[in-house]
Chains A and B, each alone.
Chain A
Amino acid sequence: MSVLHIVNKSPYDRNSLHTCLRLAQPDSAILLIEDGIYASIKNAAASESVQQALNSHQIYALQPDLEARGIDPERMIAGISLIDYDGFVKLTTDYDKSQSWL
């Protein structure tokens, strides 16, 4: 069963992303929304674990939330895919279940 993990908190605020990465199965994907976007920034304290997660998971970031925070896509870790709300809806249909890490 494939799962889409939705993370909406910064890894510098809560440990939800790290808990998610610890428990996510290899066929599952991770979607960063809201303040979860901060996990997509490269050369930061959380970058290494995100980089490592990219070896076994697809990682997506919600573009409108990235733009709202003034983060240039060039500052993102390579390999993270940007999607819009239409893409968000599509992802939830592509995976069997969605798990929000609130």
Chain B
Amino acid sequence: MGGQMHIPNLDQACAVVMHPVPDHAAALMRQLTAIGLTVSHAWPDLPSSAISADFIFYDTDMGHDDQFPWEPGCAPMPMIALVGSEAPGRIEWAARMGADALLLKPVGSGGAFSALLMAHHSFELRRSLNAEIKQLHHRMSARQTVVQAVALLSAQGKSQDAAYDQLRQMAMAWRINVEDAAARIVENANNEGSLRDSN
């Protein structure tokens, strides 16, 4: 995610506004319609169709965990908190639910578009960082396996450098990454007590 903020295509996008008083959410729903979204209202619970929504706006004054069908912080779409009371407890709850942006109540004739852009940006950034972290965790936990695999290969009389080079070439030949290739070598060695297949 670079510095440029790209405007997402919102032509077919859906937003659900969770607010106890539909009339009070009218200005927000008008803004969202002007931006091009299809908008529906929900209270207190999210209907099951909301799982495919692109954005959720949720009231923080009256909101609670049970309204959502997912664990706090695990929403599969960007979430925008509608903040009335700025009591720290409510902000804390908004954050725990995974707010990607905030919009202060009462909502007038502006604010929704910046909230959408900010939420979209934060959500995508979080998603790509999470994916990267997961991948790095996997690679870190595979370190020991790589060391084992190099040790197994160098046990055949190669230097460590040559053994690592061989591991890389095997990964390329098998079209998998080095960590997965190492896991395969270690597994083979454990199963068969030898490295028959390694050449």
The answer on A and B forming one complex is no
